[in-house]
């Protein structure tokens, strides 16, 4: 054959998608952009990306001097501040893996995460040294680096400031794009926390997608305050998407209380914030009680991690002119999975129709694919009615758990992945004709009465519209005749009389089938929640179940 051979692979440069590449951009173009950080003593410290990255390079050099090799885990046990952010940048870009420990995990879960990760070094806030005490014995032979404001660190620990000062910045190598970059354990709402190890490539693609106009709409003009801690789900991906586009960042330290957040939102002219529904709820109550605050710069408030009630979306818009952006995700999905930005078809629709859309979990992000499977194993139609377990796949979705004996071949033993490699989310959903997902429940939280499902999330949302109810959880208790029956556990709204079961039934009349109505009402002072604000229903279920 005399034909000239032609190329069949793409003739494109094969530049690895790594956090090191992502950081090169912010360093060359946006070194002057601000990073504002609230430190342990409450001071606001102003720095820049340029200074932050120089410190991140010193940190990389220091870790190498302490014996950390590529692929080793470096744990952080820190609040959300600039020196924690430096670790997000310096550790993965140097080839090691950043293991963010959730400072609110119970000690036995924390011990599990540390043992599983086999961390080589632990970086701890001085203010959290005591909180770390119950698990410190697990890592006696490894160095502790302590971040303190005054250089006063516990005996045997290394002072972070002097450590960095003793090292020259280390140029970031070019890690393999498929190498692990960050390790984050899930918050353990339904069982032991599971380790999710995300690659460089996944972090970069997640960051690119998160910044898109139909997603968070981030740009160099944005100022972002994450009201979700850096130790949750890769800091919700925000450290990387902000760096990618050069957005300024505001780090709230340990304080996520409403007054402290509003102060920063106003003084730093924040354009984008993100947090769990509990935070949105607290912030709303505070704003209602303290009129006269100017949040006009705030363009986006992303709310995710648990279901956002439509009543909250409406209240923000009507009373404070703030549009909430509801999003669904898991640690296993990077976390960005779906997001409910009002589509162009609804741009001129009445406010009610827009609120209803915003209260769904929204459509999948670009490159994320979804489907839902009914109990009989068939895929459900996208008709907003048929319910099934949500399955997802995408380039930043976990393909197995860290340390699991089946890493690399998850389908063999692990029921979290389907045989064809999709992640089974454990969330029961309906999907609308245009792809809007509505989470009905977690599979384990559903109430099955007389063979029929009661949608506890929907019931909770309706009950929250009752003026005297501040918080509510519906849980299933065993019932001889019906299998399971719903119990309502509520926290009474301040200044209101506790409602009776009769009041609840009157409120629900004509809105839900009769058999959905809770049989019992329990009043509590607070609902037990996980560190990420999710109600611990398994615990509640134990507490309210009659002994058998």
Catalytic (active-site) positions: 186, 332, 448, 453
State which residue, 37 or 331, has the beta carbon closest to ligand ADP: 331
Query: Of residues 33, 442, 466, 507, which one binds ligand ADP by CB under 6 A?
Result: 442
Q: Check if the beta carbon of residue 372 is closer than 8 Å to that of residue 379.
A: yes
User: Applying CB under 6 A, does 231 fall inside the site for ligand ADP?
Assistant: no
User: Applying CB under 6 A, does 425 fall inside the site for ligand ADP?
Assistant: yes
Query: Of residues 534, 537, 540, 541, which one binds ligand ADP by CB under 6 A?
Result: 534
Which residues are CB-neighbours of 135 under 8 A, at least 6 positions away?
Answer: 107, 110, 111, 114
Nearest distance from C-beta of residue 527 to ligand ADP, angstroms:
15
User: Applying CB under 6 A, does 186 fall inside the site for ligand ADP?
Assistant: yes
Q: In Å, how far are 34, 87, 220, 268, 416 from 49, measured between CA atoms?
A: 7, 13, 12, 16, 39
Nearest distance from C-beta of residue 454 to ligand ADP, angstroms:
17
* Span near ligand ADP by CB under 6 A; candidates 52-60, 281-289, 348-356, 424-432: 424-432
Distance CA 169, CA 473 (A): 51
State which residue, 250 or 439, has the beta carbon closest to ligand ADP: 439
Query: Of residues 427, 460, 471, 484, which one binds ligand ADP by CB under 6 A?
Result: 427
Distance CA 263, CA 270 (A): 10
User: Applying CB under 6 A, does 532 fall inside the site for ligand ADP?
Assistant: yes
Query: Of residues 90, 180, 188, 237, which one binds ligand ADP by CB under 6 A?
Result: 188
User: Applying CB under 6 A, does 210 fall inside the site for ligand ADP?
Assistant: no
Distance CA 374, CA 372 (A): 7
The contact pattern for ligand ADP, residues 336-375, with x = CB under 6 A and - = no contact, is -------------------------x--------------
User: Applying CB under 6 A, does 300 fall inside the site for ligand ADP?
Assistant: no
Nearest distance from C-beta of residue 266 to ligand ADP, angstroms:
27
Distance CA 319, CA 167 (A): 52
User: How many residues form the binding site for ligand ADP (CB under 6 A)?
Assistant: 24
Distance CA 242, CA 33 (A): 11
Q: Cis bond leading into 335, ω under 30°?
A: yes
* Span near ligand ADP by CB under 6 A; candidates 51-59, 120-128, 304-312, 540-548: 304-312
Residues from 310 through 329 that contact ligand ADP (CB under 6 A): 326-329
User: Which residues lie across from 198 on neighbouring strands?
Assistant: 182
* Half-sphere exposure in the Cβ direction for 153 (13 Å, CA): 19
Distance CA 259, CA 257 (A): 6
Strands 248-251 and 144-147: unpaired
User: Applying CB under 6 A, does 307 fall inside the site for ligand ADP?
Assistant: yes
Query: Of residues 203, 287, 295, 306, which one binds ligand ADP by CB under 6 A?
Result: 306
Nearest to 442 by CA among 424, 417, 418: 424
Query: Is the Cα dihedral 259, 338, 175, 110 positive or negative?
Result: positive
Query: Of residues 235, 275, 304, 364, which one binds ligand ADP by CB under 6 A?
Result: 304
Nearest distance from C-beta of residue 129 to ligand ADP, angstroms:
26
State which residue, 186 or 300, has the beta carbon closest to ligand ADP: 186
Strand (E) positions, 89-135?
97-100, 121-125
Nearest distance from C-beta of residue 425 to ligand ADP, angstroms:
5
Nearest to 424 by CA among 377, 485, 494, 360: 377
Q: In Å, how far are 220, 292, 313, 543 from 262, measured between CA atoms?
A: 22, 11, 18, 36
Neighbours of 414 (CB within 10 A): 15
Query: Of residues 94, 120, 189, 456, which one binds ligand ADP by CB under 6 A?
Result: 189
Can you give the binding site for ligand ADP, defined by CB under 6 A?
186-190, 233, 304-307, 326-331, 361, 425-427, 439, 442, 532, 534
């Amino acid at each position: 054959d005399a034909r000239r051979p032609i190329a069949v692979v793409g003739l494109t440069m094969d530049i690895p998608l790594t956090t090191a590449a992502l950081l090169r951009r912010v360093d060359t173009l946006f070194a002057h952009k601000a990073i504002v950080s609230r430190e342990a003593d409450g001071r606001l410290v102003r720095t820049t990306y340029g200074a932050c990255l120089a410190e991140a390079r010193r940190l990389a050099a220091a870790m190498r001097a302490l014996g950390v090799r590529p692929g080793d885990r470096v744990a952080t046990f820190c609040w959300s501040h600039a020196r924690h952010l430096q670790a997000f940048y310096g550790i993965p870009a140097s080839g090691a893996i950043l293991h963010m420990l959730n400072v609110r995990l119970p000690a036995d879960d924390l011990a599990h995460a540390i043992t599983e990760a086999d961390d080589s070094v632990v970086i701890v806030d001085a203010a959290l040294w005591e909180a770390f005490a119950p698990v410190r014995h697990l890592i006696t032979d490894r160095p502790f680096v302590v971040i303190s404001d005054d250089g006063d660190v516990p005996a045997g620990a290394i002072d972070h400031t002097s450590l960095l000062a003793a090292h020259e910045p280390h140029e970031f190598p070019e890690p393999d794009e498929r190498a692990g970059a960050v390790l984050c354990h899930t918050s353990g709402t339904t069982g032991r926390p599971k380790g999710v190890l995300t690659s460089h490539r996944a972090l970069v693609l997640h960051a690119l997608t998160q910044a898109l106009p139909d997603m968070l709409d981030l740009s160099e003009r944005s100022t972002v305050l994450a009201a979700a801690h850096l130790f949750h789900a890769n800091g919700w991906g925000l450290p990387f998407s902000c760096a990618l586009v050069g957005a300024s960042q505001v780090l709230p330290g340990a304080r996520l209380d409403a007054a402290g957040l509003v102060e920063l939102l106003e003084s730093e002219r924040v354009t984008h914030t993100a947090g769990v529904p509990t935070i949105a709820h607290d912030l709303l109550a505070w704003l209602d009680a303290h009129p006269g605050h100017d949040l006009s710069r705030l363009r986006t408030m992303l709310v995710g991690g648990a279901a956002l009630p439509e009543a909250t979306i409406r209240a923000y818009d009507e009373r404070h002119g703030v549009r909430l952006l509801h999003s669904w995700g898991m640690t296993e999905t990077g976390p960005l999975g779906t997001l409910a930005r009002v589509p162009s078809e609804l741009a001129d629709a009445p406010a009610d129709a827009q609120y209803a859309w915003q209260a769904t979990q929204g459509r999948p992000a670009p490159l994320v694919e979804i489907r839902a499977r009914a109990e009989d194993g068939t895929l459900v139609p996208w008709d907003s009615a048929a319910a099934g377990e949500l399955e997802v796949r995408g380039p930043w979705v976990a393909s197995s758990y860290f340390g699991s004996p089946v890493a690399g071949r998850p389908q063999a033993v692990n029921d979290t992945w389907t045989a064809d490699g999709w992640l089974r989310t454990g969330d029961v959903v309906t999907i609308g004709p245009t792809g809007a997902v509505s989470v009905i429940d977690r599979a384990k939280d559903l109430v099955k009465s007389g063979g029929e499902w009661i949608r506890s999330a929907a019931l909770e949302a309706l009950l929250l519209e009752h003026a005297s109810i501040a918080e509510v959880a519906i849980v299933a208790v065993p019932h001889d005749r019906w299998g399971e029956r719903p119990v309502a556990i509520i926290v009474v709204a301040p200044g209101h009389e506790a409602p009776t079961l009769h009041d609840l039934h009157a409120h629900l009349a004509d809105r839900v089938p009769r058999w959905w109505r809770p049989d019992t009402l329990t009043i509590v002072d607070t609902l037990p929640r996980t560190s990420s604000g999710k109600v611990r229903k398994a615990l509640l279920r134990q507490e309210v179940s009659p002994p058998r």
